């Protein structure tokens, strides 16, 4: 069974999906997260001057859940909750009990376009996010006259065990390809790969989305494929398409 490295935290969805297609998923988390400004977040969640909230990352959802109380924040039951991807939508339902819009839109850029079309120019949205957030979404919304109240609720750092994990991958795992899930993860991984002689850099590189793909290309590495949507099935399709094409050309 071919082994595929997924640079993300352990996911049963991905593990199951890859196993069903005869791949073994090997998970390596390149990032660590520190939650901050939770008191300010709690206070903002009690305000009633927002039309909705934007939660585009699992960490932002987790940050909100750390100060969430269904009875305390009933005002959010009637407000719009936007996200990207099915996994995040499920996480919002499980952790916050709220129904989210945007699980099929695929990217923050698409989300921003839909939000601009659906909401009045006078709308105001809360945006809990990380310190390395992309400015694409708030910029598009602000150009449409929609107010975005961004609050940094977590900081992204390099996993202190990343180099050790990469050396183990290089020496013992023998994967057929690697899948990257964030621009910051790409940067930390390549920073460590440059510190030792490795076979990993020449493996096919796949990305969960365009921003991650652009980061890999900026590091001087060719992209083998980009998932059409941020979900396990789309990642597998990208990987299988690459190897089918490779076999057909050989």
71: helix, strand or coil: coil
Q: What is the mean pLDDT of each run of 10 residues along the chain (250 residues)?
A: 95 94 97 96 94 94 94 92 89 95 82 91 95 89 94 96 97 96 95 96 95 94 93 94 83
Ordered domains of the chain (ranges, CATH): 2-30+159-249 (3.40.50.10090), 33-155 (3.40.50.10090)
Of 179, 132, 157, nearest to 26 (Cα)?
A: 179
Report the candidate in 15, 118, 107 with the shortest Cα–Cα distance to residue 57: 107
* Dist CA 154 CA 32 (whole Å): 10
Check residue 108 and give its pLDDT.
Answer: 82
Strands of the sheet with 147-158, listed across from one edge: 31-35, 147-158, 124-130, 52-54, 80-82
pLDDT at 250: 64
Place of tokens 């699980």: 103
Q: What pLDDT is recorded for position 77?
A: 93
Q: How far apart are CA 49 and CA 178, in angstroms?
A: 44
Burial of 179 (0-12, 13-18, 19+ CB in 10 A): buried
Comparing CA positions, the residue from 166, 169, 174 lying closest to residue 1 is 174
The pLDDT of residue 231 is 87
Q: What is the pLDDT of residue 240?
A: 95
pTM here? 0.79
């Amino acid at each position: 069974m071919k082994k595929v490295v997924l640079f993300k935290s352990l996911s049963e969805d991905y593990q199951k999906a890859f196993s069903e297609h005869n791949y073994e998923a090997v998970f390596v988390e390149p990032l660590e997260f520190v939650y901050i400004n939770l008191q300010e977040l709690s206070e903002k969640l009690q305000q009633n001057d927002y039309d909705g909230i934007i939660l585009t990352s699992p960490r932002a959802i987790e940050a909100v859940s750390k100060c969430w109380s269904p009875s305390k924040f009933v005002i959010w039951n009637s407000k719009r909750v936007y996200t990207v991807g099915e996994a995040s939508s499920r996480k919002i339902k499980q952790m916050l009990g709220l129904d989210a819009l945007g699980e099929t839109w695929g990217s923050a850029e698409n989300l921003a376009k839909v939000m601009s079309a659906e909401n009045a120019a006078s709308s105001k949205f809360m945006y809990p996010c990380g310190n390395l957030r992309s400015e694409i979404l708030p910029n598009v919304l602000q150009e449409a006259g929609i107010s975005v109240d961004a609050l940094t609720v977590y900081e992204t750092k390099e996993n202190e065990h990343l180099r050790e994990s990469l050396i183990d991958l290089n020496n013992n795992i023998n994967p057929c390809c690697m899948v990257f899930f964030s621009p910051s993860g790409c940067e930390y991984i390549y920073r460590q790969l440059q510190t030792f002689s490795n076979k990993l850099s020449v493996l096919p590189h796949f990305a969960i989305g365009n921003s991650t793909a652009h980061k890999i290309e900026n590091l001087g590495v060719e992209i083998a494929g980009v998932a059409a949507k941020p979900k396990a099935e789309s990642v597998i399709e990208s990987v299988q398409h690459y190897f089918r094409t490779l076999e057909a050309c050989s």
